């Protein structure tokens, strides 16, 4: 059976349709999930998409964290549900304490959108297992508050336990600590990523198809399971 | 203060009214009294002053719409023409697109961030109003000198505002313009274009019909922001108190607009909306009068039902407020619960504030007291119309006769200075602040000639859009300048392989009360209309912005033209840069000694004089056909139009795109400087795989399009044989360095590596 991957729409989500397209092109079935509906409708994995949930008011991701759907996602994530948070989704995962640290205003204070080179630092997560360790990929980055920060101890722990999933290469677009672009939880089922792999899935519309492997990785894991 | 009701107005006919302060002239006030058969109430007076302002009534430009644009054939694909919020064009496969460009110039000078942000918000609502999902924005921008201190205040704020609002709506920004010229000092031009797409059968109109239907206000609460925006800001010349008018600028909430978009689209799809109108300039006044006038209906609005941010607001303030993110929908009583349920689902306020009535009066009550009783058409359609005096400016001939500076020898140093000049340098600093990829359908965006967006994943149907305008050309010759703006946008669209099918325009001029400005306007509209007829392309709508001047000094007249093109298959699009070595480089069209009004004359000598390049629309059309055919047949590896900065600029931009240089040899005849920097129109640089060179040149020959073989792609320099060799690394440093040096470093450039050049 084709795995079903849910994509949550919060008020102000913007890249939800793009995440659905990525799921579809990877070969899974995209399922639209609604922020106010606590049910995950039996999906096998969840993507929290980019955008400005609740207008980014108060603090990015701070309000989305209290959405009905998030309660269920936090609960299921503890049981191994694969969850990928992209950009605003990463912010929501940090606010929900599924991932440590926080995303703050870009150091240069501007929103920035560019094609960004990343190095995949860990292939032990369910979302990156099909990449090669140390592989360089190019995907778009676009954020105003993408500067990853955490205390030194947390950063050291992330590094030591192989939970830094991706790092910026060839220029850090937002001032993130240790050039961190993405991290995972200890179990490797929850990944937060500031750049947008769902915008690098077709040669026609992106810088290439490097981003698709995030989605085929989880798909392979779900099919094999 | 006593409420000035209709009864009271009837009883106190001689009460003095501040109509002059509100911007109405003596005769206009007299006309209001004649229409009403009494003096207007305070609220009515405010409404007439807003609706009869230049911004809302187009009173100085209206005669030119019928006289000039009225001559242009509509074409088969135009489904809705000028007059509605935006024109609609059928593009096949059951789809229609609607697009329009509008100005938000004055607010953006007073408060750059909010002025520009709400400019995006306003044009997006116009597109939404037509029934379309907005899918992209573009921004033609003009500023004073790049190194002027005020430009450092205005430009970063405007760019951040456009990004802040558009990014939060999830609309890709696929292109635009950034132009610097001292004539825009104190009058920056912030034009905003939006395009939307819809199934043909979802087109919405603004007419309020059906007695008993309910008038529903959707979206944000109404506050005191933006009161008098159109009459105070957009319809008068700035003097020295520009920033003191900040309370007239609206404040945007893009999150609310995003919710409004989703809510409205869900209502359209459920066929719940009988008529709809956005609230922009002139707010509720405009929406109530235009919907009832369009439907030839009466309407009763209960003003006390309008949700307010400040409870102390008076009726005339509620009607004049330009609070953003609001829409007015006309729905049947049966559908009202469904409409309100959808609004609630999206967290949007929905309030029934009135109903459509029998008869032809717009009645507005405030706690059961009648404060407005007017024929709505008198506000919406029957405003004053002026045939303003025109006079050719006295300096026009002298300007044309000004001799150009002596031509220099073409050198590498000249080329480096030119590509680093503010009008030719990289716009990366600006566009990196815009989301260009959201929605996942952006095929081409800056620095490409035109933005290209896919409409259908199944068939690869797509559109191309480009905007252009050249204030210097138009200053030298308004008729030709407007045509050159159209020609360049047309060429840019065709360069990507798209067939141009419709235009929108934003006409930015000085004060219409200056006969010299009115002459420029008359000439420009005549030129634009003639060019549309010759190219066979209709105008779908647009916007006029007058009073772009400080004191008596007007901006260079700046008609900005947006051209929409259609691609059957976006995978066939032609990009502007070449990736491979050994491709044959050709220049299509002919190069003449045309440097009047050129970027060279300006950048090197601050010289504006002579004649702009000659217009040859027949040539533009043939060039367009060759570019489209070449793209469809897969003959072109790259194509880049020649315009500002001439061939030199095109060679540099196309080489830098993927880091592959160009080896060029001129065959004598014309001087190398003229070859490189002339801005002759009707030209394009193309790169053709050697195997297709014969087929492509035969295509040109068959259509009578002249072409010149320039050389080959390859190497790590732009090499002009016997003239100079300019290494790409030096060109890139010059091209990329200017805006960061002026406005702050690029992100990521300060750490372990320079900013990634990939884009």
Nearest neighbour of B255 by CB, restricted to A57, A115, A138: A57
Most A-contacting residue of B748, B750, B752, B758 (CB-CB within 10 A), to test interface: B748
> What pLDDT was estimated at residue B1?
63
pLDDT in tens, A143-159: 999 999 999 999 999 99
Min Cα separation A131/chain B (Å):
22
Give the nearest chain A residue to B444 (CA atoms).
A205
The fraction of chain B above a pLDDT of 90, given in percent, is 88
Neighbours of B413 (CB within 10 A): 11
B145 — phi, psi (to 5°)? Answer: -50, 140
Min Cα separation B46/chain A (Å):
34
The sign one gets for the Cα dihedral A99, A100, A105, A108 is negative
Most A-contacting residue of B756, B757, B759 (CB-CB within 10 A), to test interface: B756
B179 — phi, psi (to 5°)? Answer: -130, 140
B11-71+205-383 is a CATH 3.90.650.10 domain: yes
In the DSSP assignment, the letter for residue B229 is I
C-alpha distances in Å from residue A173, one per residue of B349, B626, B755: 38, 41, 8
In the DSSP assignment, the letter for residue B222 is B
A130 is catalytic: no
Most A-contacting residue of B433, B440, B758 (CB-CB within 10 A), to test interface: B440
> What pLDDT was estimated at residue B752?
36
Number of helices and strands (H, E) in chain A?
5, 11
Question: Measured between CB atoms, does B744 come within 8 Å of chain A?
Answer: yes
pLDDT in tens, B65-108: 889 988 998 888 888 877 777 899 999 999 999 999 999 999 99
Average pLDDT of A78-88?
98
B658 is catalytic: no
> What pLDDT was estimated at residue A101?
97
Is A115 within 8 Å of B758 when comparing Cβ atoms?
Answer: yes
Give the start-to-end residue ranges of the domains of chain B.
11-71+205-383, 396-503+564-742
Beta-carbon contacts of residue B319 (< 8 Å; ≥ 6 apart): B43, B46, B47, B283, B284, B285, B288, B303, B364, B372
Give the nearest chain A residue to B256 (CA atoms).
A55
Write the CATH number for A207. Answer: 3.40.50.880
Is B438 within 8 Å of A56 when comparing Cβ atoms?
Answer: no
In the DSSP assignment, the letter for residue B592 is -
Question: Measured between CB atoms, does B432 come within 8 Å of chain A?
Answer: yes
- The tokens for B627 are 């570019």
Residue with tokens 């399009």: B705
> What pLDDT was estimated at residue A201?
98
Pairwise CA distance, residues A209 & B403, whole Å:
55
Chain A hits for B434, Cβ within 8 Å? 111, 113
> What pLDDT was estimated at residue B464?
98
Is B432 within 8 Å of A171 when comparing Cβ atoms?
Answer: no
A123 — phi, psi (to 5°)? Answer: -110, 15
Nearest neighbour of B259 by CB, restricted to A11, A117, A138: A11
pLDDT in tens, A28-49: 999 999 999 999 999 999 999 9
Chain A hits for B739, Cβ within 8 Å? none
Pairwise CA distance, residues B709 & A181, whole Å:
47
Whether B11-71+205-383 shares its CATH topology with B396-503+564-742 is answered yes
Pairwise CA distance, residues A125 & A158, whole Å:
13
Instruction: Give how many domains chain A has, as a whole number.
Output: 1
The sign one gets for the Cα dihedral B593, B599, B605, B611 is positive
State pTM to two decimals.
Answer: 0.95
Angle between helices B254-269 and B112-129 (to 10 degrees): 0
Q: Is the peptide bond before B344 cis (omega within 30 degrees of 0)?
A: no
- The tokens for B618 are 């027949």
Chain A hits for B747, Cβ within 8 Å? 106-108, 110, 112, 171, 173-174
Min Cα separation B438/chain A (Å):
6
> What pLDDT was estimated at residue B447?
94
A196 is catalytic: yes
Of chain B residues 230-289, which have a CB less than 8 A from chain A?
253-256, 258-259
Is A105 strand, coil or helix? Answer: coil
Chain A hits for B459, Cβ within 8 Å? none
Pairwise CA distance, residues B374 & B40, whole Å:
9
Pairwise CA distance, residues B295 & B298, whole Å:
8
> What pLDDT was estimated at residue B81?
78
Min Cα separation B160/chain A (Å):
8
Which residues of chain B have a pLDDT value below 50? Answer: 243, 246, 749-759
A129 — phi, psi (to 5°)? Answer: -65, -25
Nearest neighbour of A171 by CB, restricted to B259, B457, B754: B754
Chain B hits for A17, Cβ within 8 Å? 439-440
The sign one gets for the Cα dihedral A81, A87, A92, A96 is positive
A87 — phi, psi (to 5°)? Answer: 60, -105
Is B255 within 8 Å of A51 when comparing Cβ atoms?
Answer: no
By the 8 A CB rule, do B744 and B755 touch? no
- The tokens for B254 are 């893009």
Is A171 within 8 Å of B748 when comparing Cβ atoms?
Answer: yes
Nearest neighbour of A114 by CB, restricted to B256, B754, B756: B756
Pairwise CA distance, residues B288 & B292, whole Å:
6
Residue ranges of chain A whose CB lies within 8 Å of a chain B CB = 11-12, 14-15, 17-18, 21, 50-52, 54-57, 106-108, 110-117, 138, 140, 142, 144, 168, 170-174, 196, 198-199, 201-202, 204-207
The sign one gets for the Cα dihedral B250, B252, B258, B263 is negative
Catalytic residue among A35, A60, A87, A95: A87
B396-503+564-742: CATH number:
3.90.650.10
Domain that holds residue A76: 4-224
A160 — phi, psi (to 5°)? Answer: -65, -30
């Amino acid at each position: 059976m084709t795995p079903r991957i849910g994509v949550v729409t919060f008020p102000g989500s913007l890249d939800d349709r793009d995440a659905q397209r990525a799921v579809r092109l990877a070969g899974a079935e995209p399922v639209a999930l609604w922020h106010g509906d606590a049910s995950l409708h039996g999906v096998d994995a969840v993507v929290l998409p980019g955008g400005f949930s609740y207008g980014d008011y108060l603090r990015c991701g701070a309000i989305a964290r209290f959405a009905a759907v998030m309660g269920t996602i936090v609960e299921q994530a503890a049981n191994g549900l694969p969850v990928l948070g992209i950009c605003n989704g990463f912010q929501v995962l940090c606010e929900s304490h599924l991932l440590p640290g926080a995303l703050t205003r870009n150091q240069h204070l501007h929103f920035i959108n560019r094609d960004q080179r990343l190095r995949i630092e860990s292939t032990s997560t369910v979302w990156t297992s099909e990449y090669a360790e140390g592989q360089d990929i190019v995907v778009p980055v676009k954020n105003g508050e993408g500067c990853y920060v955490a205390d030194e101890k947390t950063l050291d722990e992330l590094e030591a336990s192989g939970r830094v999933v991706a790092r910026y290469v060839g220029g850090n677009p937002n001032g993130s600590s240790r050039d961190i672009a993405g991290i995972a939880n200890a179990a490797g089922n929850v990944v937060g990523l500031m750049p947008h792999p769902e915008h690098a899935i077709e040669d026609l519309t992106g810088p290439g198809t490097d981003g698709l492997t995030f989605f085929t990785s989880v798909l392979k894991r779900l099919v094999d399971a | 203060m006593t409420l000035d009701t209709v009864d009271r107005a009837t009883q106190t006919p001689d009460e003095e009214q501040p109509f002059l302060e509100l911007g109405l002239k003596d005769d206009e006030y007299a006309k209001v009294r004649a229409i009403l058969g009494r003096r207007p109430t305070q609220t009515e007076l405010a409404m007439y002053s807003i609706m009869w302002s230049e911004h809302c009534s187009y009173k100085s430009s209206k005669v030119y719409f019928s006289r000039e644009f009225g001559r242009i054939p509509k074409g088969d694909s135009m489904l809705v023409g000028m007059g509605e919020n935006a024109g609609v064009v059928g593009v096949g496969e059951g789809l229609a697109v609607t697009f329009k460009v509008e100005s938000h110039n004055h607010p953006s000078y007073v408060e750059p961030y909010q002025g520009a942000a709400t400019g995006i918000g306003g044009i997006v609502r116009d597109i939404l109003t037509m029934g379309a999902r907005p899918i992209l924005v573009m921004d033609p921008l003009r500023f004073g000198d790049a190194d002027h201190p005020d430009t450092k205040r205005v430009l970063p704020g405007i760019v951040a505002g456009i990004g802040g609002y558009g990014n939060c709506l999830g609309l890709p920004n696929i292109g635009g313009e950034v132009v610097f010229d001292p004539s825009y000092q104190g009058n920056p031009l912030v034009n905003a274009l939006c395009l939307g797409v819809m199934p043909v059968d979802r087109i919405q109109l603004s007419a309020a019909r059906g007695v008993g239907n309910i008038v529903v206000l959707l979206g944000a609460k109404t506050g005191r922001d933006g009161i008098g925006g159109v009459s105070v800001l957009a319809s008068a010349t700035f003097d020295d108190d520009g920033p003191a008018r900040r309370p007239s600028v609206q404040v945007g909430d893009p999150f609310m607009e995003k919710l409004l978009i989703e809510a409205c689209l869900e209502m359209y799809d459920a066929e719940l909306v009988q008529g709809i109108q956005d609230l922009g300039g002139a707010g509720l006044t405009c929406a109530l009068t235009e919907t009832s006038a369009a439907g030839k209906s009466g309407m009763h609005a209960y003003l006390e039902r309008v949700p307010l941010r400040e409870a102390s607001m008076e009726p005339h303030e509620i009607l004049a407020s330009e609070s953003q993110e609001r829409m007015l929908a006309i729905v049947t009583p049966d559908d009202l619960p469904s409409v309100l349920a959808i609004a609630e689902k999206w967290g949007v306020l929905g309030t029934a504030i009135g109903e459509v009535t029998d008869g032809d009066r717009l009645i507005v009550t405030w706690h059961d007291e009648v404060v407005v009783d007017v024929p709505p058409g008198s506000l919406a359609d029957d405003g004053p119309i002026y045939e303003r005096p025109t006079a050719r400016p006295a300096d026009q001939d002298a300007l044309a006769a000004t001799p150009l500076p002596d031509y220099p020898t073409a050198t590498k140093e000249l080329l480096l200075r030119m590509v680093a000049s503010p009008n030719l340098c990289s716009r990366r600093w600006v566009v990196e602040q815009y989301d260009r990829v959201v929605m996942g359908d952006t095929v081409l965006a800056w620095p490409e000639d035109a933005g290209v967006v896919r409409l259908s994943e199944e068939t690869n149907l797509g559109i191309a859009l480009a905007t252009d305008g050249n204030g210097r050309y138009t200053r030298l010759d308004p008729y030709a300048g407007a045509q050159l703006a159209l020609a360049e946008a047309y060429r840019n669209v065709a360069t990507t392989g798209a067939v141009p099918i419709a235009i929108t325009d934003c006409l930015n001029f000085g004060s219409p009360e200056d006969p010299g400005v009115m002459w420029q306007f008359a000439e420009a509209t005549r030129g634009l209309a003639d060019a549309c007829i010759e190219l066979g392309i209709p105008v779908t709508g647009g916007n006029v912005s007058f009073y772009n001047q400080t004191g008596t000094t007007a901006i260079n007249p700046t008609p900005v033209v947006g051209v929409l093109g259609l691609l059957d298959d976006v995978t066939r699009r032609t990009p502007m840069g070449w990736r491979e070595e050994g491709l044959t480089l050709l220049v299509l069209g002919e190069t003449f000694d045309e440097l009047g009004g050129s970027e060279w004359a300006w950048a090197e000598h601050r010289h504006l004089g002579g004649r702009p390049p000659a217009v040859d629309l027949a040539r533009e059309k043939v060039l367009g056909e060759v570019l489209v055919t070449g793209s469809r047949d897969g003959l072109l590896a790259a194509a880049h139009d020649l315009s500002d900065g001439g061939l030199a600029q095109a060679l540099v931009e196309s080489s830098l795109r993927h880091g592959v240089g160009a080896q060029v040899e001129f065959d004598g005849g014309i001087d190398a400087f003229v070859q490189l920097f002339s801005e002759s129109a009707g030209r394009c640089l193309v790169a053709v795989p050697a195997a297709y060179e014969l087929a492509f040149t035969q295509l040109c020959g068959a259509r009578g399009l002249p072409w010149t073989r320039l050389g080959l792609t390859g190497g790590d320099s732009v090499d002009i044989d016997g003239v100079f060799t300019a290494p790409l690394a030096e060109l890139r440093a010059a091209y990329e360095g200017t805006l960061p040096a002026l406005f702050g470093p690029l992100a990521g450039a300060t750490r372990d590596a320079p900013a990634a050049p990939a884009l």
